[in-house]
Structure 1
């Protein structure tokens, strides 16, 4: 039996083996734990694993979403694009976006064990040294600088071999020894050599980089993904599944945190030790008590939503809905930042793209059977194998509007992903005929900022989500530059006789005015939101948490997820969330004298 099939069978059987996943609050044997973790996502499962290492500590994880079992869209890397919009997604929709010609767009967030690490497109970037050093400056805490953070990053993941022989395409010495499996592409495409040859040929801003996880997030390179043995490696599979046998760890799914409750104070500071939970808007409410801390890991939407419902946030906004204001924290839900994404489509002279696989159900099933039987083929990878990060030209007109917002010279402004087929995004549909190249371009140092706000006191009503994409001149002009950079890149010799022509409306986007129109009509989001509970120095008036991730002006609450990011990273954020969570574990253990560290069981 081959590795992927064996893994999948074990993966499915595990649902019957582990009895510590509960599906209703009344199934719990107790309602008091040392730690309550709200959200079994990317960060929450790290905390669940590491805190339950001490057998004297009891841990409950409360997850609104469903189990990650029995879902091929989660397990098979290529099929990850199909997970958003299904039962494992919160299925949020944004408010109409002024910068997108008033279009509302889908806003994917994982509604499943593993959170967004179970439905993302798997890209693994740890961020530049500059990024972490900038976080250190913003928080006035040297422990967030890269020299202090590196040991935590090394605890998150380890390199594993891909499905083909690609030795020498990463620098193993810069990678770690943690549970998440990371590899480069296992199924080479016709684009890979073209992309890398072009970067060598053009050089300069387009230069080749052997490994983007060495502290400099600039250059064109092989994509690294959270994949092992041709299957997704998520926080659920890497951190949670291996420790579900522990007697001191309970996991409750299909249950929402509805309110944080305070019934006492310490020197005037409200103490939060009780979490109210429920399974439906009109269903029974249950109170669970945390002897030590409630750890909020609900993500960029879920965490501020719960805080606002609990009276923690902008006083005027909360009271306008009839919620008593308990802690006036104006930054809760504010400063939402995300990466806008633009698909650039080209017709190509090839019959090797994946387009026909998506059109032909028989061919699709054959490709899936190949993955099941041998761990080979198209489905062992996400749709892109190569990636590039660039800084804007020094004379970019975008800088007429503001200085470069990137963290430093080792950090990018823009990103490029090369897809060997038509990557249908937004309202676009797969063309009935033809073969395509998609170059996805993104702005990874955006200056637009949005918000998460309440629209109802009902915790089962989604909050209002407004990422405010492309609402600054800098962001729009930077996106225009990405289109021009794509034109330069695919005009190089390696693409001769491969590119036929731009496809669709891109063919008419030949002036800056036309490019801006194309950007506003076609951009979506990479689904990399951060910042809605950003951390700041302890005694400043801005921010939601201090640099130890404790919610300001409260006791008993700590936030561990991407909402605390003080600045949006110029890369894909999942590895940063894991890293933040690993550091949070030490902060929590030190604060409460939690003891021994046991080796992780794989």
Structure 2
């Protein structure tokens, strides 16, 4: 028996002889496992800590996005106290459910600019540029084109040459939009932001209506568990064990070489070891992939020794290079005539009506996802001389400390100096209150201007914690997540950019026709004095910045610098360990100007292709 194995079936799982084991049944992990199992000569075992949740409406219903955060489906991680945020610690949601974070995210489906991926290849990661990734981007997608009326009404433009058809993930434009979306494009156009009619073709700059990962007929979330795994669960060579908590990798020394031989895990209160005849693929995400490597003896010696772990492979970049999109949520009060999703949470009758409309017709507010998007470069509203001064300052600082100057940082500085047309900041507007800090007044309605920094200089780390009294760190302890928001010279640049970008966010909200439905800014509150006085957002930025839930880079590809620059090579093989690879968001060496889920699916597709290619070559 295979499929959704219960605790009573772990013996069946253990009885298999696996050629490959995938640790983590999340976004990329299920892609890798499912694609590998297309070869009948490969037998794949998947170990997933969460349970399946195919029928939970908090996951399946698009309009309920966000309701799973902080629940049993969330690992409920948190950052260390951040000095750059005034000492605040931020929650870091990650999916603990079959499908991983693809079951929790907000279903936004977009892609970065060509230059984002070409930068990965520039660092020395062959085949990871735009052209090398495009076939895998398209392979994952089954795009459903909107009709002419939908395009005209909602500006849902597209270029079919850059979309895939026949892939597992269903992508479609929303059937229902919030009241603000009808004003979005015209407002942005007035501010010199053009509508991008082909934002998947290598440039997402401009204003556009977002595509979503949703099935067109049932209007349910399309994600890794339902799109990749479930249709193929009956394959005899694709074997899943859920609620299996991985403790450690089994690494054995063969001569002078460490080899991945198996995985130690607990299930139903008992500890087990499963072996593989081939390879192990870690797909635990940017938080837990480095954590698993470290508890298994692969990482920075000082980190491992402090945690009581014997050093097997000195790999200095494990857990380093953490990059995250930083976000603010500015709240505005909107006109009473505007219908908002918040009403569905506070008004049982409205919620009942929306649920009935969804159940009967798959229409209405329960199908709506935030879709009003803008990506623009800083130069759209910041003078070039200011950007050049900031870039020059960073170059001067890097010369003082050669250890701090990296190819990654030089690419980021070049984007400031060269005034490239890249999406350095994202804006997303929706009629709901997304702020964890602002509590609205009864009877008033609100909307949110989300703002997300796309290419952060702030760079942090994720490591296992130090231990005392001879104890060893394990996967049971939550890792130390330290993004270092707004810290160091680069973090200072991030902070200055966020202030300037927030001023432009305020300008968007003050421009007609969007301004026609906005009563006033509510958070931060508008100045009760002179309306012409420039508002200082600096304190508010520091007090209200949150995570955008897009961490990457902690097991990144090393490129030209090898193990000194990363954790894996461009075929995703872990430096220093034979038979071990990583495939998830942690492999990305530089962040992209996009919500990452479509890219992570592409990473999974490319990873499976590389693994199968090497497997076939070894047996030729």
TM score, norm. by length of structure 1: 0.90
After TM superposition, the structure 1 = structure 2 runs for residues 170-209 of structure 1, keeping only pairs within 5 Å, are: 170-177=158-165, 178-203=167-192, 206-209=193-196
Does 2:232 match 1:249?
no
The aligned residue for residue 423 of structure 2 is 412
Any conservation in 1 of the 2:142–2:170 contact (CA below 8 Å)? yes
Deviates more, 1:167-176 or 1:244-253: 167-176
For structure 2, the residue ranges without an aligned partner over 5 or more in a row are: 392-412, 468-472
Does 2:308 match 1:319?
no
The aligned residue for residue 6 of structure 1 is none
Query: 1:512–1:468: structure 2 CA closer, same or farther, 3 Å change rule?
Result: farther
Residues in 1 aligned to 2:304 and 2:498: alpha-carbon distance in whole angstroms: 36
The aligned residue for residue 5 of structure 2 is 22
The aligned residue for residue 434 of structure 1 is 444
Aligned match for 2:345, one of 334, 337, 358: 358
Query: 1:29–1:307: structure 2 CA closer, same or farther, 3 Å change rule?
Result: closer
Does 2:363 match 1:390?
no
After TM superposition, the structure 1 = structure 2 runs for residues 513-552 of structure 1, keeping only pairs within 5 Å, are: 514-537=536-559, 540=562, 541-552=564-575
Residues in 2 aligned to 1:257 and 1:139: alpha-carbon distance in whole angstroms: 32
Any conservation in 1 of the 2:568–2:582 contact (CA below 8 Å)? yes
Residues in 1 aligned to 2:139 and 2:520: alpha-carbon distance in whole angstroms: 46
The Cα offsets for residues 254-285 of structure 1, whole Å up to 9 and x where unpaired, read as 1111111122325x1201111111148xx432
Does 2:139 match 1:158?
no
Aligned match for 2:131, one of 147, 165, 170: 147
The Cα offsets for residues 320-368 of structure 1, whole Å up to 9 and x where unpaired, read as 2221000011110111110111011111224223132221122112212
Query: How far off its partner does 1:291 sit?
Result: 0.8
Residues in 1 aligned to 2:519 and 2:573: alpha-carbon distance in whole angstroms: 55
Any conservation in 2 of the 1:508–1:514 contact (CA below 8 Å)? no
State the number of aligned residues.
Answer: 571
Any conservation in 1 of the 2:175–2:367 contact (CA below 8 Å)? yes
The Cα offsets for residues 143-182 of structure 1, whole Å up to 9 and x where unpaired, read as 1121222111110102125699514622222201211111
Any conservation in 2 of the 1:131–1:408 contact (CA below 8 Å)? no
The Cα offsets for residues 548-568 of structure 1, whole Å up to 9 and x where unpaired, read as 110001101000001010101
Any conservation in 2 of the 1:158–1:181 contact (CA below 8 Å)? yes
Query: How far off its partner does 1:427 sit?
Result: 3.7
Query: 1:285–1:594: structure 2 CA closer, same or farther, 3 Å change rule?
Result: farther
Aligned match for 2:289, one of 303, 308, 313: 303
For structure 1, the residue ranges without an aligned partner over 5 or more in a row are: 1-17, 596-602
Does 2:432 match 1:421?
yes
Query: 1:496–1:96: structure 2 CA closer, same or farther, 3 Å change rule?
Result: closer
Query: How far off its partner does 1:117 sit?
Result: 0.7
The aligned residue for residue 474 of structure 1 is 493
TM score, norm. by length of structure 2: 0.88
Query: How far off its partner does 1:433 sit?
Result: 2.4
Query: How far off its partner does 1:410 sit?
Result: 4.6
Any conservation in 1 of the 2:427–2:450 contact (CA below 8 Å)? yes
The aligned residue for residue 250 of structure 2 is 261
Any conservation in 2 of the 1:158–1:180 contact (CA below 8 Å)? yes
